[in-house]
Structure 1
Amino acid sequence: MASTPPSHGQPHRTPPQQHGHPHVHPVPRHPRLDPLADRYAARTHGMKSSEIRALFSVVSRPEVVSLAGGMPAVTALPLDAVGSMIGELVSGMGAQTLQYGSGQGDPRLRERICDVMALEGITDASPSDVVVTVGSQQGLDLVTRVFVDPGDVVLAEGPSYVGALGVFQAAEARVRHVPMDDDGLIPEALEQVLLECRANGDRVKFLYTVPNYHNPAGVTLSEPRRQAIVDIADRYDLLVIEDNPYGLLGFDHEPHRALRARNAQRVVYLGSFSKTFSPGLRVGWVLAPLAVREKLVLATEAQVLCPPSLTQYAVARYLDTQPWREQIKLFTELYRERRDATLESLDALMPPGTTWTRPDGGFYVWLKLPHGLDSKLMQPRAVGAHVAYVPGIGFYADGSGREYMRLSYCYPEPDQIREGVRRLARVIEVELDLHSTFDAVDTGTFRAVGRPGTAPGTIVGPASSDRIEDTHP
């Protein structure tokens, strides 16, 4: 029997969840602005615009140097060849490419995905274990739908990918951040969080991790820690979701061996062609054990029926006919040049007390501001100076991270990067002057850990303890 709808002006309460407190639906003070406000599901109240999406209208202005969005340099692709390839697909195979497809994805593409994963040591993957998705973002959403109930705990690095936090919030999960340093996720911290969750009676559903060229931190999980984390997962019966969109974009070495290559039953692997081919095609995948794969296919069919056929055929044809390995090398050289321009400019221009990570692949630098500065509050002044970044607060579920910002070097040309860093450094200097003038903080004389001349390995890690030291006695 249906319950009576709540009247306007009264809070709408849902039944208590198995874990946590009952969800309360707040009713706006002016319900006429949204007459359906009291009917929304509880999960909608955790939804909010990401810090990155909120910047789109700003970064599109030609006068603004954007160090914000992680947009791949698709102009480096052989666009004529790609365009001809897609045209030939439609003219020659239109009956297949423009039709519905399988919920699991095109078989030929799944075969080629296995070839791609083999570069990261995943040599036991079967095409039957692969589910094609609309980007790895849909893959993460599907995995979360399959595993997470409201009130469950999801472990994630601190900071963590903003798109993942949005998925977890929509699922009404509780996110516990696990600290990182320059070598990635700290195994001892992971074990401590697991023990705390066990003592609290929390249901931990999985660990979400981006081990290679982390978004946003730019750091990479060290080899010893990879095995340590897999061992912890075994001991604590922990599922690991390995999100690896940047794994083939290392600057100075062969791809790292994936966590999934170390444990086929404990790790679910998410991959994407957005960073190595085209984000606009929206093709990703999930590699999962058989039972999980079946549920993912059912969830896909309930959500979108099937991933788009045309884009799947396009990616498969690209992998079959184009020199995609050489194209990835071209991308890595281009991103290495832009990374170098970023680090050189930061070294030369940033005021003392500013620190940052030094990525050896991927798209991002994670910058920590001098003590007392707030990247979110500073953002309007930066936009006014025609430079954009993403405030660190967007990468934490608990509202922390205000002293950090993410800088993306993948899209601007090197000269634009240098100009953007120059503008940003000036904004930070002005902010420091304001704080000094109004005695908001004692800026003192700071030693920038990780600047030229310091000992190796002292770059400040994301979410590690404050290692900026005031040199005043």
Structure 2
Amino acid sequence: MAILPPGTPPGPGVNPHPAPRHPRLDPLADRYAARTHGMKTSEIRALFSVVSRPEVVSLAGGMPAVTALPLDAVGSMIGELVSGMGAQTLQYGSGQGDPRLRERICDVMALEGITDASPSEVVVTVGSQQGLDLVTRVFVDPGDVILAEAPSYVGALGVFQSAEARVRHVPMDDDGLIPEALEQALIECRANGDRVKFLYTVPNYHNPAGVTLTEPRRQAVMEIADRYDLLVVEDNPYGLLGFDREPMRALRARDDRRVIYLGSFSKTFSPGLRVGWVLAPLAVREKLVLATEAQVLCPPSLTQYAVARYLDTQPWREQIKHFVELYRERRDATLESLEQLMPAGTTWTKPDGGFYVWLKLPHGLDAKLMQPRAVNAHVAYVPGIGFYADGGGREYMRLSYCYPEPDEIREGVRRLARVIEAELDLHSTFDAVDTGTFRAAARPTPGHEAENMVGPANSDTYEDGRA
């Protein structure tokens, strides 16, 4: 076909605006930036329409029990803020955040041994999620490597994917991140010429694994960070929610130069207010403020004043103790039900704080493939695949105990156990069948023998290449 020079009028019968050969649902699809190509709905967000159904027991979302707050007092406090300080609370604010709130944030961090923090080093953010996004924007170029635990928080993986970073997972066990595996990952990255920008870690009551980095390992991780000149991003939304211990000393309390700390009031006060923070050295703070101003101009004034007033006037330490007792009761209901009801071959972590249990299915089961059958049985969980950047974790699921009442949790675990047992029965029945493939016999045509067409399960292409 000849290519006409620009400006040549079309000949007779030629449509000047030919329809595309493959019409798309999205006419702007080929205009998007390359960084959008891997974007997808998280495993948690995809469940929202399901878990809102009243007949479903949700062990999926990590929603704090905000009804345990003194809602009348909080409502009156916010009303008084608007009526008495509306000129300030409803106005633009500083890109770094309200000075009074930054002072109180330093008081909160002191509970975890961070006693040297200055309000000038604190940047208030729209939840710690924005804080992680800002830190990633400031430090990470496309192709850089970020070390992260396996499994890792799904929201962090989304941020890293948007930054076009490469995630290298570092294994964990019941004592948290394995220091020897961290050092081996650093050695291999150096040998490959990879630029490792930071280690991302959730050391306390990990999301999703539920485990906590032990004191000896905290020391070992920081020694490795010092030896390899490694920046550490410490994400700590659950640190004050330990069931049987005082708050552990933060990684940031051990090194004020090498650790950037992310905090949040979503788990200890209200997720709806969306107030978090970043504690970083002054040079980093300057860049974080510039990134904030480019992104949102400033964090919302009203919610900042609300959190500061809450910390000033309400018994927030006692409220945290109340949350701890509530979540401990729900954790106990979860562990007791799992022990009583789960079939052999199922294992799980035993968290001593936070919101989550990490469950491993019996050999051969896939939490993602099993999910529709669980939803049909009116119970929801988050498949483990959402917490890995490399497609791993299919044999795992995250169970959240923070939101349902204990009796709901017991019923949810009962339903889940029945689904797993049915899945085991199915696998036992078809044990001799290769469940990774399917076979379809084509109807023979005259003069031809029947052909077997074999391809991967859920594939649109057969082995011989025919679609």
- TM-score between the two structures when normalised by the length of structure 1: 0.87
Question: What SS does structure 2 have at the residue aligned with 1:82?
Answer: helix
2: CA distance, partners of 1:288 / 1:47: 29
The answer to whether structure 1 residue 240 and structure 2 residue 232 are counterparts is: yes
For 1:317, the equivalent position in structure 2 comes to 309
Question: Deviations for 1:121-160, whole angstroms, at most 9, x for unmatched residues?
Answer: 0000000000000000000000000000000000000000
Match of 1:355 in 2: 347
CA displacement at 1:441 relative to structure 2: 8.2
Instruction: Look up the SS of the partner of 1:138 in the other structure.
Output: helix
CA drift at 1:80: 0.1
Counterpart among 121, 124, 131 of residue 132 in structure 1 = 124
Query: Partner of 2:380 in structure 1?
Result: 388
Q: Does 1:226 align with 2:228?
A: no
Q: Distance in 2 between matches of 1:167 and 1:31?
A: 31
Q: Which amino acid aligns with 1:317?
A: R
> 1:29 offset after TM fit, Å?
7.8
User: Identity across aligned pairs (percent)?
Assistant: 93
Amino acid at match of 1:167: V
| Alignment map for 1:218-367 (pairs within 5 Å) | 218-367=210-359
Alignment of 1:157 onto 2:157: no
Aligned position for 2:391: 399
1:446 matched residue in structure 2 = none
2:428 is aligned, of 401, 415, 436, to: 436
| Counterpart Cα distance in 2 of 1:396 and 1:211 | 17
Amino acid corresponding to residue 52 of structure 1 in structure 2: I
Partner of 2:451: none
Q: What is the root-mean-square deviation of aligned Cα atoms in Å? A: 1.1
Displacement after TM superposition at 1:41 (Å): 0.4
Match of 1:46, SS state, is coil
The answer as to whether partners of 1:245 and 1:273 remain within 8 angstroms in 2 is: yes
- Paired with 2:21 and 2:324, the residues of 1 have a C-alpha distance of 52
Task: Specify the code of the residue in structure 2 equivalent to 1:127.
Answer: P
When Rg is computed on C-alpha atoms for both structures, the one with the higher figure is 2
Deviation string 1:102-124 (CA, Å, 9 cap, x unpaired) is 00000000000000000000000
| Residues 1:115 and 2:107 are matched in the alignment | yes
1:431–1:295 CA distance, 2 compared to 1 (3 A) = same
Q: Deviations over 1:371-414 (max 9, x none)?
A: 00000000000000000000000000000000000000000000
CA deviation profile, 1:411-447 (whole Å, cap 9, x unmatched): 00000000000000000000000000011589xxxxx
Correspondences of 1:411-430 after superposition (within 5 Å): 411-430=403-422
Which stretches in structure 1 are left out of the alignment for 5+ residues? 1-27, 443-473
Deviates more, 1:60-69 or 1:432-441: 432-441
Rounded Cα–Cα distance in structure 2 between residues aligned with 1:440 and 1:268: 52
Provide the C-alpha distance between the structure 2 equivalents of 1:35 and 1:413, rounded to a whole number of angstroms: 47
1:77-88 pair list within 5 angstroms: 77-88=69-80
Secondary structure of 2:172's match?
Answer: strand
One-letter code of the match for 1:206? F
Equivalence for 1:462: none
Query: Take 2:23 and 2:294, find their aligned partners in 1: how far apart are those partners?
Result: 33
Residues 336 and 386 (structure 1 numbering): CA distance in 2 closer, same or farther, change over 3 Å? Answer: same
**Structure 2 counterpart SS, 1:32:** coil
Residue identity in the other structure for 2:358 = W
Aligned to 1:184: 176
Question: Given that residues 140 and 167 in structure 1 are in contact (C-alpha distance below 8 angstroms), is that contact kept between their aligned partners in structure 2?
Answer: yes
Partner of 1:105: 97
Evaluate the alpha carbon distance shift between residue 441 and residue 238 of structure 1 in structure 2; reply closer, same or farther with a 3 A threshold: farther
* Aligned residue type for 1:209: T
2:189 maps to 197
Aligned positions, number: 415
2 CA distance for matches of 1:399 and 1:100? 43
